[in-house]
Structure formats: C-alpha cells, structure tokens
Structure 1
Amino acid sequence: MNDPENALWRSTCAETVSAPRLTADTSVDLAVIGGGYTGCSAALEAAQAGASVCLLEAQEIGFGGSGRNVGLANAGLWLPPDEIRAHIGQVAGDRLIDLLARAPSDVFALIEKHSIACEPVRNGTLHCAHSAAGLKNLQTRHAQLSAAGAPVELLSMDQARERTGSDAFHGALFDPRAGTIQPMAYVVGLARAAAQTGAQIHGQSPVQTMRHENGQWVLTTPGGVVRAKSVIQATNAYHLGLPVTAPAYVPVYYFQYATAPLSHNLRASILPQEEGCWDTGLIMTSFRLDQAGRMIIGGMGDLGNAGQSAHTAWVRRKLAELYPQLADQPFEQGWHGRIAMTSDHIPKITQIGPNALAAHGYSGRGIGPGTVFGRMMAESLLAEDPSRLPVPAVPEHRESWTRVRRAFFESGAALTHLIKARF
C-alpha cells in the first residue's frame, strides 16, 4: 500500500506529455533544470515569450514534491503578513504578499487557458483550529490578512462543523481565493502546454556538469549537451547531482493516505463544498476529497523511516476522530514527499552564476509560489531585469544544522503520532 513515488496521483493523472530523454546537442535561450511547478512554469512563460527553451528533468515530470503534493492551491505563505514583512522588510514584504495573494488566480487562469485536466475546484480552503489556542492563532491571521485586503472569513465552531462535517474544530479561517487540484496532473499539464508552445521537454536527462564559458552555459547530460544563454535551476528538495549549486534547506517529510472512493451517502456528509483543509497543529494534519470521492489525509512524517508504523497507526485514528463514519474505510494508497523548508519559511532565489538563478524553499507551499516564481524568473532573465523577480536574488543561502533539524522534525512527528495513536 505504501508507495513513496505516489502511484495514486500518477494513476489518476489525466494529463500526458512527451518528455523523451535528451539524445542530441542543442542550443537555446533558456535551459531549465527540474520538471516541477517552478521549472514547468518557467519553461511555459519563456516559450510563450518566443524564447527557445530546453527543460531537463532527471526523472519524470512531477517526480519530486510537485507530484506528491496535497493539492491545495493556497494564497500566500505559511507565515502571516506581519511576519513576512518582519523578515524581508515592508516594501519587499508588501510586494511578495500581493504577488502570492494572486497566485491561486494565476494557477486557475493557466488551467483554464491551457485546458489542463487536473480536477480544479476553486471553492476555497479552510484552515481549521484544532484547539482554543489554534483559534487565537487564526484570529490573528484573520486580522492581518483582512488588513492586507484578503477576503478571508473567520468561521465559528458551528460554522466550521457545517463546512467540514466534523466536530473536531473550534473554528476555521476560510479563504475563498484558494482551491484544490490534482497536483501531478497540473504539473504535467504545464509541461504539456510548454511543449505545445515550443519548449523542448526532456525526462530521464540528469544534468551532470554545468559550467559557464565564452558567455554561455554548457550543461552536460548522459545523452547530449545543452548550451544556453541563461539557466533556471528549479530542483528544490529533489536536487540530484551538481553539489556546487545544491540548495540549502531543512528536509521535512510529509505523508498522505487515500481511502477508497466513498459512497454517495458518506461523501454527502463530508466537506459538502469540497474545500481543501489543514489544521493549526504544530504537527499539522491536512485532509481533502479528490474528484472520485477519496478522502486524502496527511501529516508530517517519513513513511520510509522507522516511524512509519507510528504514522500509519496515527492516520487511522486521526481519520476516525475527524469522521467517525469513516473509521472502517480501507486505505488504498500511502505515500510521502520531501519539503524544502527554510529557517524563515520564505522562498529563496539565489544567483548561481551569470544569467543563472535557482529557487527553493517553498516550505510546503509549492503550487502557487512555484508557479509565480518560475514565471517571474523567466521574465527577469529574458528581459535582463532583476527588478522583475518576486524577491531579490541573493549570492547564496545557508542553513545550519540541517541534519539535526531534520531528525528533530521527524522524531517529533513520530513521537506525536505514536502517543496520539495509543491514547
């Protein structure tokens, strides 16, 4: 049942793209490394602008975090607006807040424009208060988001019960800007749209070396060499090779389980408006329905780790707590993905060389920010205008004690799930 590479999203993906292995040398305006949201968005934007593009993915399109995502197309970052401004300043903070407030609109506009078959449902999301303290957190977020112009609504306990179909929450923050998608289908659809617009899309083509010589970049793969005026590295938490340009982040694992499709009667009592949800717990829980009516529930943890049994026992108990009527529903699939988290939870763009940028660190918010960052990085490089970037590029980004912090998050998640699975 456990499949780290996520057979569920792959098997229900209605999108396809031809991404053959690179087998010949080529020269382009822009080379993109990585076939996730950021890379595919960048390739699509550049191709639409008339540039020649070659995207190189070491595995298959959507192999990394993009294809293992929960599928919540949220507005903004995990941080409330005031914390974003505190980290990067008022002007830069306001700009990033505004850009990512519009990110769901950007995502759903691309879906409509390119007819991406990714089960889009734009009925908003619910951030659910798992405790009284969680409700206070949502009240603070509501005040800050409202002051920034966001059309969010704070729901009472009764309203949260009506919207979720669960008695487990003290309230919820509803964001009508957001929605849900089939995450693998979205990224494959972006790649397909980029290819139809003229981009070269290549899977099974890992970049082995990258050097800058005579005013251009030279990228070598097992099957051919790509020469490019500019480069975007969009490998995030699934960076393979090229240690010199490896992004610095704390790896955090997130797993999900999916039930069999629910009966019509069961489905009618759960999330009647089909919002995507997550809670305010420090060890967060997410839950949503897909188009077929599967309940997909997730939490922090690595199913490939020794804590797998604790995570598995917990998710069964958690589902029963949220929805007692689902206590006996079988799980069809379980999978996990790796998140690139930064200390301040703000994505980074690094200047890895002349006309070369890398982005990483969405801290679990890959769909909207990845789409926006990819597009704007392509715009910036093609126009040779750094002011078009969503955040200023930095020469490097460092994280300390990454292994220790990874162990802390995983052991904390496993211990929390172990205790809650038993009591």
Structure 2
Amino acid sequence: MQEKCLWEASAREQAPVTAPLDSDISTQVCVVGGGITGLSTALHLAERGISVSVLEAGRIPTGGSGRNVGLVNAGLWVPPDDIVAALGAEDGERANRVLGEAPARVFELIERYGINCHATRTGTLHLGHNPKGCNELARRRDQLTARGAPVELVTGTDCERLTGTPKIASALLDKRAGTINPTEYTRGLAQAACAQGAALFTDSSVTGIERDGDRWRVRTAAGSVLADRVVMATNAYTQDDWNWVKHQFFTGHYMQVASKPLSGEVADSILPDRQGAWDTRTVLSSIRRDSEGRLVLGSLGSGERRPHAYLKCWADRVASFYFPALGAVEWEYTWTGNVAFTPDHTLRLFEPLPGILAACGYNGRGVTTGTVVGQGFAQFITTGDDSLMPLPIKTHKAIASRPLWSLAYESGFTLYHVGQCLRVTM
C-alpha cells in the first residue's frame, strides 16, 4: 500500500504549466489559494473581463480539492430543515436552493470547458446502516421532496442491486448528484482559468497582506501582487496566524483507501451504476468505484502516520462486512485530506477587512460548495449582486478552543475505527 492519492496517481487531465511569482505585479483581483474555490473565482472573474492573479502555495492541486472523495453532492451535510433552524428561514432556504443547484453548475462547467474528470451523473446514495439511519433517510426524503428535489428512497431488492450489498436496508438516491476525479476537475478549472486570461502562480506561499494606499499588497517570498480586491480561498489548509480564515473553522481529516482495479461478477455488482455512497453512521464512511474499477473506501479521521496494518485492518473490515463474497482485497493507495469544520456544520462567507472576501467551513462538501462560492464571489465583485452565493457576507465570531474541537473529533473517530478493527462495532 502506497501513501499516495489515487486521484493524482490516475489523473489524465494535466495542470497548466506555471511558475512561482518572482516579481511585483498589479491586477484587479488577487486570489489566495489555487483549489476549487480560488480557481472557480478566477475563472468566472476572467470570463467577465476582470484581471485576476492566483497565488497557490503548492501545486495544482495541493490540498483537499484533489484529495476528497469526489462526490458532486447537492446541499449541505445536514438536512434542509436543520439548515433553516441554524441559519433562519431566509438564509437557510437560500443555502438549500443555491447548494441544491450546485451539482448542475459543476457539470455545466465540466461540459463547457471539456474537463476530462471521469464525471458520472447517476446520482449519489446515502446509505441507511441501521433502523435509526433508515428513519433519518425517510426524514431527509420528505424534506427534500417538499422542496422539489429529485430524490428517491430505495429499499429491498432495488436497494441491494444499487449498492451490491444486502447489509443496507434503504438508501436515498439523489439524482442531482454524481462523481468526479477531483484532481482532474481542479486541474481542468486551472486550465480553463488560464485560457480565459487568469494568471496562475504556484509554489508561491503568501507571507502577508498589507494596505498600500487604497489597494492591497499581497506578498510572497519573491514578489508581490498589488490588487483592488483580495479573495482568501485557503479553507482547510489555512496555516498562517495572520490569515483571518484560520480562526473561522477547526480542522478535521478524512482518510481513504483504494484497492487495485477489481473485476469479475462480484466486483461488478458493487455500485454497478457508479453512484458514490456514504452512510448514516455518526463517524460516516464512504464507498465508491473509480473509472478503472477500484473500490475506494473512506471515513472521517486521519490515516497519516498510521501503520498500514491498521489501515488495512479497517479497510478489510468494511469491505468484508458489506461485500463478503469479494474475498481478500489488495489495497493499493491510502491518503488523507483536511476538512474545515464549523460547530453548526454550515459554511462561512465573510469580509475580514474592506475589499477582502473569504470563505471556509465547507464541512466536507467542497466540490460543489467551492464551485458556487467562486461563481458567487465573481458576480459580487463585479456587480455587487450576491444572489449566486449560498449565503450573504456576514461577520462571524472566531471559533473558541479550535484545537480542542479538533482533538475531540479526531479522538472520537479513532476510537470508532479501533472498535471496527476489533469487531466491537460496525
């Protein structure tokens, strides 16, 4: 088993040729962060004729934009009524509507720019792992259908056919959604942004931002960008203390393990329509197949610096529980990505200082949320209209005791996975 991200190892879509920033330049908008949010912002600004420069600390992609599960999900992680309860009726329904439409926006970009990211549009499956989970799916189905969403609760033999396992009593099929290779999608956004005229600089970590007259100067080790507006799109990979985004989320992790390509009758019965799936466990797990037939398992928690025997034990346990006829599986890759969590599981869009926009707290829904936030930022910057954004720009208090939140989450995830390995729980 290699510690390497499957999506990068198997990617056919290439990133554009880039170099570090090594001079002082001027532009209308400077975007900090070359992930999905930053690249979507840059692409949509460039489409509108706005000069934009992107500063990425690593390569394309470096962070969670290329390391996630690759689910093109609709909505937030929490059910629609809970979103309304957390945000209020106006903002909650706005988030439900905009993020419900988000998969269509992702797929439209893929089609418009010919992004080769192995996209599927057969939906996603939310798996009821026990009676309580099945009741939760029925509740979500009722809330979503009341809002006109094309979802279906499948049970019995239909559920077994879609999932490939009799262990799931019901699954919520969301026909708006699908899957992608997230590394290829992110690189495709970068190619499209550059083709539209955006300037992209990699290996260009930002060291600070300061006022320069009525503009902002964004500094790197070897150069700077002077801009009218700045977009902070660093999300879960924000590290520097000067970066205001750091105080608006706490860090979690998501680990994944991928098999070697599988074939045969049993393997072909697992998610035969290639939906991505995740379950209703408190420490949720995900299941999907890639374009070459690999079985990809994931769960909340970090796999970094964990013995491969531990990761193999966990993956074997999950695979044998759901798909016992599959037999022994040879695991090929393992990797972990960061997740930006917030206590209420909703995102934050804010303006830390006049002329600077920031976003974070996607809570594991980065592919779709990052795409629409970028579109919304571009429209807001050029016209002042914020209607494409999932939420309006608001002031948020810093999250207190962020390290304790992270420690509590990771400790709980680890204990759960140890219980799975020891067959205490599943």
Give the TM bin, normalised by the shorter chain: over 0.9
Q: Distance in 2 between matches of 1:305 and 1:403?
A: 19
Distance 1:10 1:93, change over 3 A: same
Q: Is the 1:310–1:414 contact (alpha carbons within 8 Å) kept by the matching residues of 2?
A: no
Alignment of 1:117-266 (within 5 A): 117-241=116-240, 243-247=242-246, 248-266=248-266
Q: Distance in 1 between matches of 2:289 and 2:141?
A: 25
Q: What is the DSSP-based 3-state SS (H/G/I as helix, E as strand, rest coil) of the residue aligned with 1:19? A: coil
**Aligned residue number for residue 412 of structure 2:** 412
Alignment of 1:3-402 (within 5 A): 3=3, 6-16=4-14, 17-241=16-240, 243-247=242-246, 248-305=248-305, 310-386=310-386, 389-402=389-402
Q: Distance in 2 between matches of 1:27 and 1:43?
A: 15
Q: Distance in 2 between matches of 1:126 and 1:86?
A: 25
Q: What is the DSSP-based 3-state SS (H/G/I as helix, E as strand, rest coil) of the residue aligned with 1:193? A: helix
Q: Distance in 1 between matches of 2:383 and 2:84?
A: 27
1:244 Cα offset (Å): 4.2
Moved more, 150-159 or 174-183: 150-159
Q: Distance in 2 between matches of 1:285 and 1:292?
A: 21
AA aligned opposite 1:150: A
Q: Distance in 2 between matches of 1:397 and 1:312?
A: 41
Q: Distance in 2 between matches of 1:387 and 1:116?
A: 26
AA aligned opposite 2:295: M
1:354 Cα offset (Å): 1.4
Could you tell me the TM-score, scaled by structure 1's length?
0.96
1:2 Cα offset (Å): 4.5
AA aligned opposite 1:185: E
1:405 Cα offset (Å): 2.0
Q: Is the 1:350–1:397 contact (alpha carbons within 8 Å) kept by the matching residues of 2?
A: no
Distance 1:242 1:386, change over 3 A: farther
Q: Distance in 2 between matches of 1:388 and 1:292?
A: 36
1:401 Cα offset (Å): 2.4
Q: Distance in 2 between matches of 1:266 and 1:210?
A: 55
Cα deviations across residues 268-313 of structure 1 (Å, max 9, x unaligned)? Answer: 2111111110000011110101101111001111112568754442
1:213 Cα offset (Å): 2.5
Structure 2: runs of 5+ lacking an equivalent: none
AA aligned opposite 2:184: A
AA aligned opposite 2:140: R
Q: Distance in 2 between matches of 1:278 and 1:128?
A: 6
Cα deviations across residues 148-184 of structure 1 (Å, max 9, x unaligned)? Answer: 1111001113321111111111200000000000001
Distance 1:382 1:242, change over 3 A: farther
1:86 Cα offset (Å): 1.0
Moved more, 214-223 or 262-271: 262-271
Could you tell me the TM-score, scaled by structure 2's length?
0.95
Distance 1:173 1:389, change over 3 A: closer
1:99 Cα offset (Å): 0.6
Q: Distance in 2 between matches of 1:81 and 1:216?
A: 40
1:337 Cα offset (Å): 0.7
1:24 Cα offset (Å): 2.0
Q: Is the 1:209–1:242 contact (alpha carbons within 8 Å) kept by the matching residues of 2?
A: no
1:74 Cα offset (Å): 0.4
AA aligned opposite 1:347: L
Q: Distance in 1 between matches of 2:154 and 2:195?
A: 43
**Aligned-residue CA RMSD (Å):** 1.6
Q: What is the DSSP-based 3-state SS (H/G/I as helix, E as strand, rest coil) of the residue aligned with 2:407? A: helix
Q: Which of structure 1's runs of 4+ aligned residues deviate more than 6 A?
A: none
AA aligned opposite 1:143: D
Q: Distance in 1 between matches of 2:156 and 2:211?
A: 58
Q: Is the 2:245–2:358 contact (alpha carbons within 8 Å) kept by the matching residues of 1?
A: no
Cα deviations across residues 41-96 of structure 1 (Å, max 9, x unaligned)? Answer: 00000000000010000011221111101000000001111111111111111111
1:329 Cα offset (Å): 1.5
Distance 1:322 1:191, change over 3 A: same
Moved more, 265-274 or 200-209: 265-274
1:334 Cα offset (Å): 0.4
AA aligned opposite 1:151: P
Q: Distance in 2 between matches of 1:333 and 1:134?
A: 30
Q: Distance in 2 between matches of 1:286 and 1:278?
A: 4
Q: What is the DSSP-based 3-state SS (H/G/I as helix, E as strand, rest coil) of the residue aligned with 2:273? A: coil
1:241 Cα offset (Å): 2.4
Q: Is the 2:98–2:388 contact (alpha carbons within 8 Å) kept by the matching residues of 1?
A: no
